[in-house]
């Protein structure tokens, strides 16, 4: 691992490609992990929510079960980085919206990408996990409407994800994109809501985005761009 | 030079940062040229239009003069790649708009980034070159309104630049962003209009965008994002 690489956020695919339903996996986890040891994503066919910690890949599937995933599995969309984050602050009890604005206030700049990691005790964690789709794939909105939602009143674990400046909306999820994995690996997913109880916030700032596109995927190559990409994303991601 | 690097488009800065007037150079040409031998950009203070061919950096300044530029000069925004493009087709006489749609038709995908290079004879070439600004910097729109425009009825030379998918508007110039340098190095700039007479079209497809942000620049870090970024860009770039 190159020291400089801790300043690079790697992304395979774009959020925009998921919107019309380009869910086919186009990069193996093995290849993805050559660019980082920490991150989030989804599997081929939009099969669940990925949490990558310490080089290990966990999937929360549509039944809420947490699985370890082999490196030969493929992703249509994922972000990874080499974790070298900095402890920012202890965060006490804050409700979802106030927690998000507290993290936003701690960002040294809103014009750069950040990895956001929080550990500790959380409350009222509401996650979702998308279910594996079969071809012909539906749209992201249709898939999200059929997602499974999971809730936990009190849980220890790790919140992991990214902040992307609004400018990159469509390339990435604008603002925060957070996944959760409980300490006992029994619960997690794409975070819809979360309150902090007693947590620590860590941030890692990136000076570079390496965006890898699935140039060999025929469906991606010929997909007509969506007109209302940001609207479609907002309705599918929140 | 790594073979794989011919699939990577490197960008320093974003088009969006120029919009409110963040014109300070934040990367040396020497550093930029570690990522490619061909490209376009502008110098510190928005000083002219850069054309990078075969590792040599040419600037068209606001008087229309073409200068060779030293590697210690800095850029606020530039793109480079290692040229390994493919001959696509001979292009006969076509007026500006028809020429652009002819190139668009030749792109293997509208969802990937491409380097566009054309050589040969051109007609009615209308270029602009922005003038170096002093701090406090005006906006891109104000600078573009005061740009110098140059015209040439018939000229041999090279058209060089990029195609970016609409999704990346704001990060890059959406669609085509083309500069021109005449064969005799007496004329060039940011292309506003161009007709082909007898030209050859070359394209190079990229599977990756490495986007480097000026993370150490204080003005960039604290800049409030513009609301109408795409509108502001359209009025300044065309």
Structure-model confidence comparison of residues B228 and B6, the more confident one: B6
* Partner A contacted by B4 (CB < 8 A): no
Which of chain B's residues have a Cβ under 8 Å away from the Cβ of A109?
A: 215, 220-222
Mean pLDDT of chain B: 95
Domains and CATH numbers, chain A: 3-237 (3.30.1330.80)
* Partner A contacted by B231 (CB < 8 A): no
Q: Tens of pLDDT along B163-177? A: 999 999 999 999 999
Count Cβ atoms within 10 A of the Cβ of residue B72 and give its class: 0-12 exposed, 13-18 middle, 19 or more buried: exposed
Confidence at B223, pLDDT banded by 50, 70, 90: very high
Is residue A109 within 8 Å of residue A158, measured between CB atoms?
A: no
CA–CA separation, A213 and A160 (whole Å)? 23
Token pair 């249509």 is found at A76
Q: What is the DSSP letter of B113?
A: E
* Partner A contacted by B238 (CB < 8 A): no
Q: Tens of pLDDT along B81-100? A: 999 999 999 999 999 999 99
- Is A112 in Cβ contact with B213 (below 8 Å)? yes
Using CB atoms, which residue from B171, B207, B229 is nearest to A215? B207
Residue B66: both structure tokens together: 């073409």
Q: Tens of pLDDT along B4-44? A: 699 999 999 999 999 999 999 999 999 999 999 999 999 99
Residue A74: both structure tokens together: 């493929």
Q: Is pLDDT at B137 greater than 80 in this prediction?
A: yes
Is residue B177 within 8 Å of residue B40, measured between CB atoms?
A: yes
Residue A105: both structure tokens together: 């206030």
Question: In 3-state terms, what secondary structure has residue B136?
Answer: coil
State the DSSP string of A48-73. SEEEEETTEEEEE-TTS-EEE--TT-
- Is B166 in Cβ contact with A109 (below 8 Å)? no
pLDDT tens, position by position, for chain A (238 residues)? 555 699 999 999 999 999 999 999 999 999 999 999 999 999 999 999 999 999 999 999 999 999 999 999 999 999 999 999 999 999 999 999 999 999 999 999 999 999 999 999 999 999 999 999 999 999 999 998 888 999 999 999 999 999 999 999 999 999 999 999 999 999 999 999 999 999 999 999 999 999 999 999 999 999 998 777 778 878 877 7
Give the CA count within 13 Å in the CB-facing half-sphere of B6: 8
Q: Torsion angle of alpha carbons A210, A225, A189, A204, nearest 10°?
A: 30
Task: Suggest the residue from B167, B204, B229, B230 to mutate for an interface test with chain A (most A CBs closer than 10 A).
Answer: B167
Give the CA count within 13 Å in the CB-facing half-sphere of B234: 6
Nearest one of A51, A230, A40, A235 to A140, comparing CA atoms: A235
Q: Is pLDDT at B3 greater than 60 in this prediction?
A: no
């Amino acid at each position: 691992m190159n020291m400089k690489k801790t300043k690079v956020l790697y992304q395979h695919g774009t959020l925009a490609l998921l919107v019309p339903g380009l869910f086919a996996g186009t990069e193996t986890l093995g290849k993805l992990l050559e660019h980082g040891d920490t991150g989030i994503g989804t599997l081929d066919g939009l099969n669940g929510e990925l949490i990558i910690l310490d080089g290990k890949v966990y999937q929360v599937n549509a039944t809420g079960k947490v699985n370890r995933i082999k490196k030969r599995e493929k992703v249509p969309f994922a972000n990874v980085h080499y974790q070298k984050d900095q402890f920012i602050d202890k965060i006490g009890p804050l409700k979802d919206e106030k927690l998000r604005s507290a993290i936003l206030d701690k960002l040294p700049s809103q014009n750069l990408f950040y990895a956001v990691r929080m550990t500790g005790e959380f409350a009222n964690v509401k996650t979702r996990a998308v279910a594996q789709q079969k071809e012909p794939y539906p749209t992201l909105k249709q898939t999200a409407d059929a997602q499974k939602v999971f809730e936990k009143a009190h849980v220890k674990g790790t919140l992991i994800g990214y902040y992307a400046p609004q400018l990159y909306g469509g390339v990435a999820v604008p603002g925060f994109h957070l996944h959760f994995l409980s300490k006992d690996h029994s619960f997690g997913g794409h975070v819809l809501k979360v309150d902090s109880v007693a947590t620590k916030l860590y941030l890692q700032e990136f000076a570079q985005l390496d965006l890898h596109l699935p140039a060999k995927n025929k469906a991606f190559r010929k997909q007509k761009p969506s007109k209302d990409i940001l609207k479609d994303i907002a309705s599918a991601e929140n």
